[in-house]
Structure 1
Amino acid sequence: MAIYEYSKRGKIHYFYSFEVKDFHGKRKTIKQKGFTGKREARAAEAEARVEWEKGLFVDPSTITYAEYLKSWITNKHNISPQTRETNEGQIKNHINPVIGNVLLQKLTTQHIEILITSLKNKSLSSGTVKKIFNLVNTSLKSAVKKELIVKNPIDLMDVGSKPAVKKGRVDFWTVDEVKDFLDGLEHRHRIIFVLAIYTGMRRGEILGLRWRDIDLENGQIRISQILAFKGEIKDGAKTVSGNRSISIPPIVVSELRKHRSTIIKEKWDAQEKYKDHDLVVCRKNGLPVSWSNFHKFWLRILSKSNVRPIRFHDLRHTCASLLLSGGIHPKIVQELLGHSSIKITLDTYSHMMPNIQADAVKTLEKMLN
């Protein structure tokens, strides 16, 4: 067995290297570096030879892009379960049907452009098209690092050929629409919408909120856990800046006290069947509400009201818009919403502050005249 040594950072390392013939009689070299001892290198070489003989060794020149994607996403461990499921769905439904059967090493810029066109023809949002494009790009960058392909075909694309994200329209309710919605809302989960409108909390933050994280006496809520994908309760917020304390007005304190009375009664009625997770928002048996059915629940709530339909996430935008239109400083809004920087707040909501520029020039005029 051929074991060779080489120097790395002043230390001796070893690698194995041996030649084989493929089915076409073409010679190829199989090698691997990084071993600190000869015995370890010999064992790895023996295993590699056995795999070759059994036909387990994969010839990079015969791998289709679909086969590569399956291996790549399976061995990608730095993503959340939700992201993994989303990526696998994008691969199955959008990528593989168009370019999955193309050999990885034969993938060209034209193939990527064809994929982008097919995505746009499906009337997918610009954000979704961009995410799928980024998924392909990341996978091909990994293939370059692994020396499965020489160059990422996306690097050869014209800038204008790459998908761009159109800035989404931020929708929100007016003061009157909020009043109409809350005035007509009678539901055991009313507190969800009160918190969303008055605090700008995200859905996962509301559904994961515990009573121990609420100080009713001092009007404070501490965000310390969320209800994540598939009903998983996770410590911490969506982002580092999301771990925050929120001040709540007396009306929200009153709504929380009323809601807690309902929860206490339900807990008493359920007795030993109650699964106490200390959740503010929960089913009648104490378990977290259904994450997957939440959108349908929101649509049912909307259908029973006479208010203009918006997304549930737009209640967060509603909170921000009402605060900014009321003259609250963007820095305070940033801290309330848990944005990582004030830039995000300003980029998202600057159009909601139409009087800022006019007020600024008037102030300057007064100073100079």
Structure 2
Amino acid sequence: MFIAGIERDRLYAPLLLSLMGFRPAEVVGLRWTDLDLKLATLEMVNTRTIIGNVQVLEKDAKTAAGERVLPLPGPVLDALKKFRARRAREKVAAGEGYTESGYVVVDPLGVPRNTRHLREHAYRLMRELEMRQVRLYDARHSCLSYLANNGVPDHILAAWAGHTNARFTKRKYVHVDVEDMRAAATAWDGFHGGDQKGPM
């Protein structure tokens, strides 16, 4: 519902990156030079963290494993291409008033956004869609849980998350809810003869 509801939003592409399981600091730290839209890959090497809602601290990825190259899903790739084209139009419209920072997540005048800006933007969209407020960082948990529950191997899951330890990824980020266990209930039907008629 959230993805469908924000499709026309200016920051649709960056928000899709959040829903891919990236940390908010990774999303706002992303630069166009980190993207290869021809090969459909993204290199995660830079973060921008805000301290005390005031100071922005820019640094390398959190760990060596955090520096990773990931393939871009089709919808995310398409959204990034459209966002880049929109940014080009905004730059022409702003003229000399445009700031060329190289970052992906910027305002219409090219000024880089930080994690607080991205978070507040997402919360506003959630309110407009009459959805409950969910932290962007929690989307990381949801993404990794979805991938794990749909058969992505542990070592791939850890690499996607930027972790060295697959057990840590599953313990901290992978959560199983009742719908995830529906297939197990169906399998159990066969185990106890659920396809038979009448009492056993």
Report the RMSD for the aligned CA atoms in angstroms: 2.2
Q: What are structure 1's unaligned runs of at least 5 residues?
A: 1-179, 359-369
Partner of 2:44: 223
Partner of 2:85: 261
Following the alignment from structure 1 to structure 2, what is the Cα–Cα distance between the partners of residues 308 and 292? 18
What is the TM-score normalised by the length of structure 2?
A: 0.79
Following the alignment from structure 2 to structure 1, what is the Cα–Cα distance between the partners of residues 94 and 128? 29
Retained in 2: the 8 A contact 1:225–1:233?
A: no
Calculate percent identity across the aligned residue pairs.
28
Following the alignment from structure 2 to structure 1, what is the Cα–Cα distance between the partners of residues 174 and 117? 33
Note if 1:191 corresponds to 2:13: yes
Partner of 1:102: none
Partner of 2:31: 210
Following the alignment from structure 1 to structure 2, what is the Cα–Cα distance between the partners of residues 192 and 228? 16
Note if 1:240 corresponds to 2:64: yes
In the TM superposition, residue 188 of structure 1 has moved relative to its aligned partner by 0.8
Q: What are structure 2's unaligned runs of at least 5 residues?
A: 185-200
SS at match of 1:240: coil
Q: Deviations over 1:228-264 (max 9, x none)?
A: 2245362411223211111112211111101101111
In the TM superposition, residue 209 of structure 1 has moved relative to its aligned partner by 0.6
The AA in structure 2 aligned to 1:220 is T
Greater fraction of residues in helix: 1
Following the alignment from structure 1 to structure 2, what is the Cα–Cα distance between the partners of residues 309 and 331? 31
What is the TM-score normalised by the length of structure 1?
A: 0.45
Structure 2 counterparts to residues 97-246 of structure 1, below 5 A: 180-185=1-6, 186-197=8-19, 199-229=20-50, 230=54, 232=56, 234-246=58-70
Q: Deviations over 1:272-328 (max 9, x none)?
A: 211111111101121111444444333211101143432111111121121112111
Higher RCO (C-alpha 8 Å, min separation 6):
2
Partner of 1:313: 137
The AA in structure 2 aligned to 1:304 is E
The structure with the largest alpha-carbon Rg is 1
Following the alignment from structure 1 to structure 2, what is the Cα–Cα distance between the partners of residues 227 and 350? 25
User: How many residues are paired up?
Assistant: 177
Retained in 2: the 8 A contact 1:231–1:290?
A: no
Tell me: CA distance 1:294–1:231, structure 2 relative to 1, closer, same or farther (3 Å).
Answer: farther
Partner of 2:121: 297
Note if 1:251 corresponds to 2:75: yes
The AA in structure 2 aligned to 1:307 is M
Structure 2 counterparts to residues 312-331 of structure 1, below 5 A: 312-331=136-155
